[in-house]
A and B are shown apart, each in its own frame.
Chain A
């Protein structure tokens, strides 16, 4: 075995070091830039716990709505497969399948207001995104207003999600698009996300990080016997950060199981 001790010391002594003044100046400029993006007022240390909990209510409400259950942290870590944002994907059964045996009180039904696109923006207080491309045969599932969307609130009255449902005219199958406001300044725990047999795949959605979950049990529908049964969807989840510091997570689910390239085309067509 060759001894590289001397050589490694030579290499380490050859490493140029930054001048102290440069390091100090750069640190100062960097901290100023950091403060512009993360204003000190929103430091998690200064937020009360109730505010922190509220800040991430969007994601939490979605989890509740879908019937996802938080498992004990130790168990979550033991079963960790892969992480995306706040989610830790595990091989536990998908939420829709867990709902079949869930007690009813674990699912919170959020208050919902239907509005047109611009009205939804006024209610939500942030830009509402909408796909400008839809595959042939798809139209909004709701009628009455132009580009109808639903605004969902949690128990505290905070807007947690914007949701749009499209329906395929011939098959009646659903294409669901959701926008969830995120607050990156908040300090929240990771959430377990059971994907069962579905292997999460990391994808790029217009340069943003995303996850593709093909053939994933996402919805529930009554079967011929009148019993709820999981419905497989192709699901695409991705996140964006806007220039004004906003951050959103999007969910695009296709009951028709549209392929990834079509789902990406829809996802990349969203505009505020």
Chain B
């Protein structure tokens, strides 16, 4: 559970040289950072390079970070990530900025069939997210793949929190269309993991 007061304490402690506090921030940030960047990058290897760059920049610039409000830290980290992503695509303009293939699923599927089903379901979800307008897609990726809350997304994108809520609501309604097949797959996966 995200606790802004705890995050604030960890940031201040890490800025003061507390390695353990920094480690806890790293653990909290990595999954979202990786998840968000992985779907924007063409391969796992390049995602790992980019995530490494972002984390090292974070270490180097941590001293200069100023806590402004709850969520400002993660917004700052994702701003760095988005700048690095933009740099990557400036250097590799022939690549598409679409949502990439995903060979590293969070996989609790007990059987190869369920694994394949899971892969299929994930591909379907990503395809539909990829069809959203760029702004809505970005909000969904930051929310569900990056793990940010609406106020943090607002800070990352420089928009108001209400605007983010509106984009997110419209995006979810669009994604909800044609959910049936995926919902059936999800129920099968749920049953198999509960057996």
B64, A208: Cβ atoms closer than 8 Å: yes
Determine the residue in chain A with the shortest Cβ distance to B143: A11
* Complex CA–CA separation, A45 to B21 (angstroms): 12
A78 at interface by CB-CB < 8 Å? no
Chain B residue, CB-CB nearest to A33: B59
Whether A185 contacts B17 by the Cβ 8 Å rule is yes
Contacting pair B52 A29 (CB below 8 A): yes
**A1-43 contact mask (Cβ, 8 Å, vs B): 1 or 0:** 0101011111111111111001100110111011101111011
Contact partners of B48 in chain A: CB under 8 A? 18-19, 22, 26
One of B59, B60, B118 near A13 (C-beta < 8 A): B118
Shortest CB-to-CB span from A186 to chain B, Å, is 7
Within A130-178, which residues are at the interface with B (CB < 8 Å)? none
Partner of B140, one of A11, A37, A185: A11
Contact of B175 (CB < 8 Å), options: A7, A45, A186:
A7
A69 at the interface (CB under 8 A from B): no
Shortest CB–CB separation between residue B72 and chain A, in angstroms?
Answer: 10
Are A18 and B55 in contact, CB atoms less than 8 angstroms apart? Answer: no
Check A16 against B16 for contact (C-beta < 8 Å): no
* CA–CA, A186 and B121, complex, Å: 50
Q: Which of B78-86, B87-95, B100-108, B151-159 contacts A (4 or more CB under 8 A)?
A: B100-108
- Within 8 Å CB of B44, what residues of A? 19
**Residues B19 and A38 in contact, CB atoms below 8 Å apart:** yes
- Contact A18 B19, CB 8 Å, known A6-B183, A11-B125, A13-B118: no
Q: A2-B176, A9-B186, A16-B104 are in contact. Are A43 and B17 (CB under 8 A)?
A: yes
Say yes or no for A71: interface residue by CB 8 A criterion: no
CA distance A34 to B62 in the complex (A): 10
Taking the nearest CB of chain B, how far is it from the CB of A214, in angstroms? 20
Contact between chains at A30 and B26 (CB < 8 Å): yes
Is the beta-carbon distance between A14 and B121 smaller than 8 angstroms?
Answer: yes
Judging by beta carbons under 8 Å apart, are B35 and A16 in contact? yes
Contact of A186 among B16, B55, B64 (CB under 8 A): B16
B-contact 0/1 string along A34-73, CB 8 Å cutoff:
1101111011110000000000000000000000000000
Q: How far is the CB of A123 from chain B (nearest CB, A)?
A: 26
> Which one of B56, B105, B129, B179 lies within 8 Å of A17 (CB-CB)?
B105
B122 CB within 8 Å of chain A: yes
A235 → chain B, closest Cβ, in Å?
18
Task: From the candidates A2, A10, A22, A184, name the one contacting B63 in the complex (CB within 8 A).
Answer: A184
Q: A85 interface residue, CB < 8 Å from B?
A: yes
**Does the CB pair A15–B145 fall under 8 Å?**
yes
**B46 surroundings in chain A (CB, below 8 A):** none
| A247-B172 contact given A184-B16, A185-B17, CB 8 Å threshold | no
Residues of B within 8 A of A239 (CB): 64
A84 within 8 A of B: yes
B144-A18 in contact (CB<8A): no
Instruction: Assess whether A44 is in contact with B18, with CB atoms less than 8 Å apart.
Output: yes
Interface residues of B in 49-83 (CB under 8 A from A): 51-52, 55-56, 59-60, 62-64, 66-68
Residue of A4, A10, A43 near B121 (CB, 8 A) is A10
- Provide the residues of chain A in CB contact with B186, threshold 8 Å: 6, 9-10, 13
Contacts of B38 in A (CB 8 A): 16, 18
Offer 27 A-B interface pairs, CB within 8 angstroms, sorted by A: A7-B176, A8-B144, A10-B125, A10-B186, A13-B189, A14-B126, A15-B31, A15-B106, A15-B145, A16-B35, A16-B105, A18-B30, A18-B51, A18-B104, A19-B104, A22-B48, A23-B30, A23-B34, A26-B52, A30-B55, A31-B23, A34-B22, A38-B19, A40-B17, A84-B66, A209-B64, A239-B64
Q: Which 6 A-B pairs have the closest CB atoms?
A: A38-B17, A16-B38, A11-B144, A18-B34, A15-B35, A14-B122
